[in-house]
């Protein structure tokens, strides 16, 4: 969308100038053993004449209830708490859905509500992320939905920020395994 096409074309053109064969993949983490609906674009390039990669993830999605911990309590004085407590229905995906349905207001669409029987929404580095039990995502929730180990050292940074800014580790593992299987586990000869 928007300028993305320009940047994608530019990246591919630059790789080709350097002699690389480039493949572009649009992959969703939820089909790669990550309990989060997170679509990302990946460029995989090589100049070794490897065959084209096929990456078609189809792992069973992991629902939020499978990784959720105790939520972080919300302030009972917050607008979000009041909206969710009083007006939330099972189909609301975010505060914006409530605002639009109840007040005909176009706001709150970047404030998602995690549903236990669905895959968690994309985790962002900032902003509010709510749970249908009228709590906020806890640090453990952020860490689990991003597929980081619970004992990961965030070096003093907020787990939400790091998880929101990172490609989920299991997503990268999935891609690395496919590259290994298709290029390196066979008798593919590297240049010497």
Return per-residue pLDDT of the chain as tens, 192 residues: 778 889 999 999 999 999 999 999 999 999 999 999 999 999 999 999 999 999 999 999 999 999 999 999 999 999 999 999 999 999 999 999 999 999 999 999 999 999 999 999 999 999 999 999 999 999 999 999 999 999 999 999 999 999 999 999 999 999 999 999 999 986 655 544
Please report, for residues 63, 157, 177, the alpha-carbon distance to residue 139 in angstroms, rounded to integers and kept in the order given: 18, 11, 28
Please report, for residues 9, 84, 113, 138, 188, the alpha-carbon distance to residue 102 in angstroms, rounded to integers and kept in the order given: 43, 11, 16, 28, 60
CA distance 127 to 124: 7
Is there a contact between 69 and 138 (Cβ–Cβ < 8 Å)?
A: yes
């Amino acid at each position: 969308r928007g300028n993305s096409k320009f940047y994608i074309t530019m990246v591919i053109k630059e790789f080709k100038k350097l002699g690389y064969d480039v493949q572009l993949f649009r992959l969703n983490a939820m089909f790669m053993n990550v309990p989060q609906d997170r679509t990302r674009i990946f460029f995989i390039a090589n100049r070794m004449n490897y065959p084209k990669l096929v990456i078609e993830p189809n792992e069973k999605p992991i629902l939020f209830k499978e990784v959720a911990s105790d939520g972080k309590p919300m302030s009972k004085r917050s607008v979000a708490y009041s909206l969710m407590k009083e007006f939330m229905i099972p189909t609301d995906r975010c505060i914006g859905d409530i605002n639009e349905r109840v007040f005909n207001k176009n706001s709150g669409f970047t404030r998602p509500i995690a549903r236990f029987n669905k895959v968690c929404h994309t985790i962002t580095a900032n902003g509010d992320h709510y749970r249908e039990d009228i709590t906020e995502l806890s640090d453990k929730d952020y860490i689990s939905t991003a597929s980081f180990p619970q004992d990961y050292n965030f070096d003093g940074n907020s787990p939400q920020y790091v998880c929101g800014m990172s490609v989920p580790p299991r997503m990268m593992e999935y891609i690395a395994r496919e590259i290994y299987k298709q290029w390196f586990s066979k008798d593919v000869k590297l240049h010497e």
